[in-house]
């Protein structure tokens, strides 16, 4: 598989009136064409901020987002509009993103009109009906308003709106988090099915590890705006290396068989407005040593091909303890 999305040292600071919030703090990452890359981490760690910078919704403070080699934030406005066709986002709460006064058919058709893609209205409506059927809503749903749909149906409509422009890269930001568990499974399977049929690449963001391990080929774990570990879903699910990944996975009911005890983290997540020096996790890490307070560990290759940002893993302290 070739790389489709390359993120280089990406940062985003928010100015919160009196303080500067370092929401994303130097992330480098490659996402391959056709894969699902899962992004996990506790609330506030910067997942949505990262997703929005990749999805052309939020300008980075520094760093690059390269889509098929092109720096999307250096592109002209006109070019960015074209890139928007290629890169789409599906959000958690379709109700707030669907205009309640418009019918579903128009909401799905509108992106085609905005992008001047299909000038013939009959052909356009035909495409809308095909798309509705593809996401499991029959053509009659075109006449309904968002309030006349269930939560799962609204999320299907939101998927149709995102896919009508035939994107190749889709950011799913907590796309099933607002749904009941049984409906979640249906929408996840629909997303998997659509990926196969349409050859999509997903950045799949969720705080729910079970959902991410079910969906993702590879997973990245975020903590306080940094990536602390990336690897295949099986590697992270069966043998997490980073102490934070270990704690995160030990607390979940994993789809993988796992060994080891539950690790309960002490202390609170530090504020992203006052990042700790050195390793961002050192204030809560049971293995922290002096170096952890001084030097931020780089996300470096580990023996089995994954990447991990931890002095302990890099220097093999775990074998010594």
Ligand X SMILES: Nc1ncnc2c1ncn2[C@@H]1O[C@H](COP(=O)(O)OP(=O)(O)OP(=O)(O)O)[C@@H](O)[C@H]1O
Measure Cα distances from 89 to 48, 55, 107, 161, 171 in Å: 11, 6, 15, 10, 5
44 binds, among Mg ion, ligand X, ligand SF4, none (CB under 5 to 8 A by kind): ligand X
Does 44 participate in binding ligand X (rule CB under 6 A)?
yes
Sole residue written with tokens 């809308």: 128
Phi-psi region of 41 (alpha: psi -120 to 50; beta: other; left: phi over 0): left
* Separation CA 58–CA 262 (nearest Å): 37
CA distance linking residue 139 with residue 304, whole number of Å: 49
Which listed range, 40-48, 115-123, 271-279, 286-294, lies at the site for Mg ion (CB under 5 A)? Answer: 40-48
Would you mind telling me the total number of residues written for the chain in this entry? 321
Check the CA dihedral 307-308-309-315 and report its sign.
negative
Q: Which of 297, 299, 302, 307 binds ligand SF4 (CB under 6 A)?
A: 297
Residue 274 touches ligand X, criterion: CB under 6 A? no
N-terminal to C-terminal alpha carbon distance within the chain: 38
| Residue 298: partners with Cβ closer than 8 Å, 6 or more residues away | 309
Instruction: Let me know: does 262 contact 251? Beta carbons within 8 Å.
Output: yes
Residues 230, 306 contacting (CB under 8 angstroms): yes
- By the rule CB under 6 A, 282 interacts with ligand SF4: yes
23 near ligand X, judged by CB under 6 A: yes
| The one among 279, 299, 306, 307 contacting ligand SF4 by CB under 6 A | 279
Closest separation in Å from C-beta 129 to ligand X: 34
List 2, 43, 196, 320, residue binding ligand X (CB under 6 A): 43
Which of the residues 85 through 144 are near ligand X (CB under 6 A)?
none
Q: 155 vs 245, which CB is nearer to ligand SF4?
A: 245
Q: Which does 124 bind (CB under 5 to 8 A by kind): ligand X, ligand SF4, Mg ion, none?
A: none
Residue 243 within binding range of ligand SF4, rule CB under 6 A? yes
Instruction: Outline where 31-178 has alpha helix (H).
Output: 47-54, 77-86, 94-97, 104-114, 121-134, 151-163
Q: 321 is in the binding site of which of ligand X, Mg ion, ligand SF4, none (Cβ under 5 to 8 A by kind)? A: none
Among 285, 299, 302, 307, binds ligand SF4 (CB under 6 A): 285
List the single partner that 49 binds among ligand X, ligand SF4, Mg ion, none, CB under 5 to 8 Å by kind: ligand X
In the list 36, 48, 213, 226, the residue contacting Mg ion (rule: CB under 5 A) is 48
Q: Among the candidate windows 47-55, 90-98, 111-119, 279-287, which touches ligand SF4 by CB under 6 A? A: 279-287
The rounded distance, in Å, linking the Cα atoms of 51 and 173 is 7
Interacting residues with ligand SF4 (CB under 6 A)? 242-243, 279, 281-282, 285, 287-288, 292, 297, 310-312
Interacting residues with ligand X (CB under 6 A)? 14, 16, 21, 23, 41, 43-49, 207, 272
């Amino acid at each position: 598989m070739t790389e489709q999305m390359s993120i280089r040292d990406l940062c985003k600071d928010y100015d919160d009136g009196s303080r500067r919030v370092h929401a994303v703090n130097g992330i480098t990452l490659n996402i391959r064409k056709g894969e699902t890359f899962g992004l996990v981490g506790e609330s506030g760690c910067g997942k949505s901020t990262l997703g929005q910078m990749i999805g052309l919704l939020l300008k980075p403070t520094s760093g690059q987002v390269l889509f098929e080699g092109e720096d999307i934030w250096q592109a002209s406005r006109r070019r960015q509009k074209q890139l928007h066709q290629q890169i789409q986002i599906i959000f958690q709460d379709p109700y707030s993103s669907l205009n309640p006064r418009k019918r579903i058919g128009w909401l799905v058709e509108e992106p085609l009109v905005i992008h001047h893609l299909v000038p013939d209205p009959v052909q356009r409506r035909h495409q809308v009906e095909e798309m509705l059927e593809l996401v499991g809503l029959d053509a009659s749903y075109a006449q309904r308003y968002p309030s006349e749909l269930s939560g799962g149906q609204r999320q299907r409509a939101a998927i149709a709106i995102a896919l009508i422009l035939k994107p190749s890269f889709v950011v799913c930001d907590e796309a099933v988090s607002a749904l009941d568990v049984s409906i979640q499974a249906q929408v996840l399977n629909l997303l998997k099915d659509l990926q196969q049929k349409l050859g999509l690449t997903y950045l799949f963001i969720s705080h729910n590890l079970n959902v991410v391990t079910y969906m993702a080929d590879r997973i990245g774990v975020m903590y306080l705006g940094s990536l602390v570990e990336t690897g295949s879903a099986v590697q992270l699910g069966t043998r997490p290396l980073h102490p934070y990944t270990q704690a995160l996975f030990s607390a979940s009911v994993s789809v993988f068989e796992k060994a080891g005890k539950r690790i309960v983290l002490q202390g609170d997540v530090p504020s992203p407005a006052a990042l700790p020096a050195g390793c961002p996790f050192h204030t809560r890490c049971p293995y922290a040593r002096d170096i952890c307070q001084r030097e931020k560990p780089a996300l470096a290759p580990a023996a089995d091909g994954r990447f991990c940002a931890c002095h302990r893993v890099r220097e093999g302290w775990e074998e010594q303890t």
